[in-house]
Amino acid sequence: MIARMWRGWVPTERVGAYTTYIEQTGLTGYRRTPGNLGAQMWSRDLGDGRSEVTTLSWWESLDAIRGFAGDDISQAVFYPEDDAFLIDRETTVTHHEVVAR
């Protein structure tokens, strides 16, 4: 199993709207892709007017991730309204082999 993680930062007053948007776009996209084993989204208030949003998804294989992300699985996938929310973002994602559960 492979875990895929991404982080972005939004104004704290917009975190609820952004997480709703990502639930409807990114997480729905993950879950509809064959080989996806689940997904979560986390947020935390950084106390400086920003909140960090992290998405974590689990996949059967790197090939399954390609079904969602395309050939370059190291690149993050963005959606049309991301620019209206994000004040900073990782443009790449990390992948980890899940070795214990």
Q: What CATH number has the domain bearing residue 69?
A: 3.30.70.100
Can you name the residues that pair with 52 across neighbouring β-strands?
A: 9, 44
pTM of the model: 0.93
Domain tally, the chain:
1
Distance CA 1, CA 38 (A): 11
- Tally the C-alpha atoms within 13 A of residue 29's C-alpha that lie toward its C-beta: 15
Tell me which residue range forms the domain holding 84: 2-97
Q: What is the pLDDT of residue 101?
A: 85
Q: Which two tokens stand for residue 90?
A: 């990782």
43-100 per-position pLDDT tens digit: 999 999 999 999 999 999 999 999 999 999 999 999 999 999 999 999 999 999 999 9
